Amino acid sequence: MPNNRFFSSKYKPGTTKLRKHQILNSSLEKLTPPQGCNFFPPRPCGSLCDCCVSPLQFVLRQLIGQRVILATIADERDQPPRFFEFTIIAVNDFLVTVTNGSTTFVVNISDVIGVGFLPPERTINLLPPVNIGCECDCRERPIRQLLDTLINSTVNLLVSNGSTGANFTVQQTGLGIVLGTLLINDTLYRFAISTCKITAVGQS
């Protein structure tokens, strides 16, 4: 077995669990910049629930009773979403319940890429952007700040199921969310897309 020289000799007999955490944090800091992640207690840390899932849940609650397009990572690449023109009937505990009148699904919000709705001028409130560090600092913040520089621009969004949202017009960003418009079947929808599910942003 190869010798892990970085960690193998760190702990002495009788080292407490908290002390081990402190030693490991010190070791990790040698591998990451000063503003990098802090993985262990007692340091507080933002999680992807805070900056990715909660902001999308906040948006979905504003659309209860509305017919929407709910895109998820289970959708096939560049095919119509499985939950196309479903009505949101409940949002609770990081789950969104949707129905098409004959079938009802309870969907894990952490697997939702985005939600499209009509009319495109509908007002949607977003959580204010805050940089809470840790996972959010490398997963949510960079794409959001990039999109901030592209307000009113038309971009192509490659999302986590491999699909491309072509000619997406960026309107607004908030914590974990970008709002904009997308033309689908000759109808202009407004979409709230999780910035944590955006793999790449392209411009022609």
Domain limits of the chain?
48-202
* Contact by Cβ (8 Å): 166, 121: no
- Nearest of 46, 38, 51 to residue 197 by alpha carbon: 51
Give me the pLDDT at residue 62, please: 98
Mean pLDDT of 143-156: 97
SS (H, E, C) 72-121: ECCCCCCCCCCEEEEEEEEEECCEEEEECCCCEEEEEHHHEEEEEECCCC
Round to whole Å and give the CA distance between 150 and 24: 39
* Percentage of the chain lying above the pLDDT 90 cut: 69
* Percentage of the chain lying above the pLDDT 70 cut: 78
> Is the backbone of residue 21 left (phi > 0), alpha (psi -120 to 50) or beta?
alpha
* Contact by Cβ (8 Å): 61, 95: no
Give me the pLDDT at residue 204, please: 79
Round to whole Å and give the CA distance between 178 and 170: 7
Mean pLDDT of 106-135: 92
User: Residue 114: CB partners within 8 Å, gap ≥ 6?
Assistant: 71, 159, 191, 192, 193, 194, 197
Question: Is the pTM higher than 0.75?
Answer: yes
Give yes or no for a cis peptide into 13 (omega within 30° of 0). no
End-to-end CA gap in the chain:
50
80 half-sphere exposure, CB direction, 13 A CA radius = 8
Least confident segment among 6-10, 85-89, 121-125: 6-10
Asked if pLDDT for residue 41 goes beyond 90, the answer is: no
Mean pLDDT of 187-191: 97
